[in-house]
């Protein structure tokens, strides 16, 4: 069992791309899922699944708060009017654990916020 867990962590790290290496206009696949609470439907959850496809549309440095905003076109979006709350998500396979903020905005834009100090860590994309 320990060997399986170790191999799972190693395989996650082998395929994950560092946040700093993500490039505008490139296609990526999620290797980690997460849940985002929907705004317009109280109690409804958007499940973002491993294997979902995104395209990095834009990278925006938010220097005043030491954060970088990654804006992705989310290909499995259930509808262009859907909005979610921001959720804090720990990134699997990082040590110490890196946490990002994520939310879905109108027109299927997945916003991912990461602190600049964590840019050299593994993302949850391949």
CA angle 15/70/58 to nearest 5° reads: 110
| Domain ranges for the chain | 2-118
The reported pLDDT for the residue numbered 8 is 46
Q: How confident is the model at residue 10, as a pLDDT?
A: 42
Helix (H, G, I), strand (E, B) or coil at 30: strand
Q: Which pLDDT score is estimated for 12? A: 42
15-45 pLDDT, tens digit per residue, is: 789 999 999 999 999 999 999 999 876 778 9
CB atoms under 10 Å from CB of 16, counted, come to 21
Give me the count of residues in the chain.
126
3-state secondary structure 62-109: EHHHCEEEEEEEECCCCCCCCCECCEEEEECCCCCCEEEEEEEEHHHE
pLDDT above 70 for 6: no
What predicted TM-score, i.e. pTM, was given to this entire model?
Answer: 0.86
pLDDT of residue 33: 96
pLDDT tens digits for range 53-102: 999 999 999 999 999 999 999 999 988 888 999 999 999 988 899 999 99
Distances from the Cα of 110 to the Cαs of 11, 13, 68, 72, 84, in angstroms?
A: 25, 23, 14, 5, 10
Say what the pLDDT of residue 3 is: 42
The pLDDT of residue 107: 95
What pLDDT is recorded for position 17?
Answer: 92
Q: Residue 11 has what pLDDT?
A: 41
Residue with the larger pLDDT of the pair 94 and 109: 109
Phi then psi for 106, rounded to 5 degrees?
Answer: -55, 155
């Amino acid at each position: 069992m320990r060997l399986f867990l170790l191999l799972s962590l190693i395989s996650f790290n082998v395929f994950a791309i560092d946040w700093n290496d993500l490039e505008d206009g490139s296609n990526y696949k999620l290797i980690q899922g997460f849940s985002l609470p929907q705004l317009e439907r109280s109690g409804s959850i958007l499940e973002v699944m491993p294997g979902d496809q995104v395209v990095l549309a834009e990278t925006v440095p938010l220097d005043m708060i030491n954060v970088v905003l990654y804006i992705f076109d989310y290909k499995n979006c259930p509808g262009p009017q859907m909005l979610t709350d921001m959720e804090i998500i720990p990134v699997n396979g990082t040590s110490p654990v890196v946490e990002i903020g994520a939310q879905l905005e109108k027109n299927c834009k997945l916003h991912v916020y990461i602190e600049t100090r964590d840019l050299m860590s593994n993302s949850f994309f391949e």
